[in-house]
Amino acid sequence: MKKLFVVIPAYNEEKSISYVIKDLKKSNYNNIIVVDDGSKDKTFDIAEREKVKVLKHIINLGQGAALKTAIDYAIDKGAEIIVTFDADGQHRVQDIGKMIKPVMKREFDIVLGSRFLKKNRNTPFIRKVFLKGGAIIIFLMYGIRLTDSHNGLRAMSRKAAQKIEITSNGMEHASEILEQIKKKRLKYKEVPVNIRYTDYSIKRGQSTLNSFKILFKMIIKWLTR
Amino acid sequence: MSIQPIQIIVVLFSLFAISRVFLRYKDKKLTINQFIFWCIIWAGLITLTLFPKLTSPLSRILGVGRGSDIFIYLGIALLFYIVFRIYVKTEEQDQNITKLVRELAKKKK
């Protein structure tokens, strides 16, 4: 069995983080790294109580920065496979198995979760429009064809984790990872996953307005590099 | 040549600015070179405000309608450039802060 780490960036997730960690442990995913991204609530204490490795950003930097801290740390600890998992409870632990399989078999460097690969009715309409719009923009900007553009559930090999450079601190990191996949010529694959849309995860998720902000930042980044 | 209110305002403001520059120089917050530089800038502004015709030769050379427009154009260009510089600078600072916070996170325990 390869050394597998599940990394969870968390910001103000005191309500869900404990459940997410317990759920992962129940399925024997015991190497868990939580990066508390300067939460103002008790996320850090609650996560520590679950006896997992918790790193703390002393100020809030953004999900991209937290993810990079977590991935760097996992690499340091000798991770061979890294799974990124959201802290709000929207992902299902059962989906991890099929995500890591292609990476374990070395068929793919990175596997991305997609909520649109199979028939799926639970994605709210407006969210669907924006995620699909995002996928089109990703295709136009980077030439990567995906069904779901911004899914926090990913599995990657150590090699892929080392190659992917995340420089965006904010939510643009999701697009940046895709850009890196293209640039570093990583072999990628989408796997269908289920998203649990609860009132909580919707509230904690990205607002529609935010997607414009993210797009704007991506364009600025693209212009100034 | 009649003096317009705006000219008086600009001249008064420039004089005020020069007094501040002088005070900073007396406090030794400015070097003699910086002192001279800012004095020339503000004195120049006073001169051009009182005698706008002085800019006409320059406007003819550059092909701008009115002399005072040159300052608007240059001013906007300069501001854009400064905004760009500040943008790059804050971006750099962001990256440095990120590095610091990340190292701190890894070091603790």
User: Which residue range(s) make up the domain with A76?
Assistant: 4-224
Contacts of A224 in chain B (CB under 8 A): 87-88, 91
pLDDT tens digits along A14-67: 999 999 999 999 999 999 999 999 999 999 999 999 999 999 999 999 999 999
CATH number of the structural domain spanning residue A187: 3.90.550.10
State how far residue A72 is from chain B, nearest Cα, in angstroms: 9
CB A213 within 8 A of CB A220: no
Q: What pLDDT is recorded for position B109? A: 56
CB B35 within 8 A of CB B41: no
In this structure, of A80-89, A185-194, A203-212, the range with the lowest mean pLDDT score is A203-212
Question: Percent of chain A at pLDDT above 70?
Answer: 93
Say which residue, B46 or A207, is predicted with more confidence: B46
Cβ-nearest to B98 among A35, A65, A76: A65
Whether A201 has a pLDDT exceeding 80, the answer reads: no
Cβ-nearest to B106 among A38, A55, A167: A55
Q: Closest Cα to residue A30, out of A38, A21, A39?
A: A21
Say which residue, B9 or A171, is predicted with more confidence: B9
The answer, for A69 touching chain B at a CB cutoff of 8 Å, is yes
Look-up of token digits 């900073």: B24
Tell whether ipTM is more than 0.95: no
Contacts of B99 in chain A (CB under 8 A): none
Question: Looking at chain A from residue 90 to 109, which residues have their Cβ under 8 Å from any Cβ of chain B?
Answer: none
Q: What pLDDT is recorded for position A121? A: 65
Alpha carbon of residue A4 to chain centroid: 15
CB A55 within 8 A of CB A70: yes
Q: Closest Cα to residue A188, out of A102, A91, A83, A119?
A: A102
Q: How far is CA A1 from CA A80, A102, A104, in A?
A: 10, 14, 9
CB-based contact B104 A58, cutoff 8 Å: yes
pLDDT tens digits along A116-144: 877 666 677 777 777 778 788 888 887 88
Whether A218 has a pLDDT exceeding 80, the answer reads: no
CB-based contact A57 B105, cutoff 8 Å: yes
Residues A99 and A13: their CA atoms lie apart, in Å, by: 24
Whether B70 has a pLDDT exceeding 90, the answer reads: no
How sure is the predictor about A224, in pLDDT bands with cuts at 50, 70 and 90? low
CB-based contact B95 A167, cutoff 8 Å: yes
Q: What pLDDT is recorded for position A44? A: 95
Contacts of A59 in chain B (CB under 8 A): 97, 101
Whether A86 has a pLDDT exceeding 80, the answer reads: yes
Chain B residues at the A interface, defined by Cβ less than 8 Å, are: 87-88, 91, 94-95, 97-98, 101-102, 104-106, 108
In terms of CA atoms, which chain A residue is nearest residue B84? A224
pLDDT tens digits along B16-46: 999 999 999 999 888 899 899 999 989 998 9
Question: Number of folded domains in chain A?
Answer: 1
Look-up of token digits 């405000």: B49
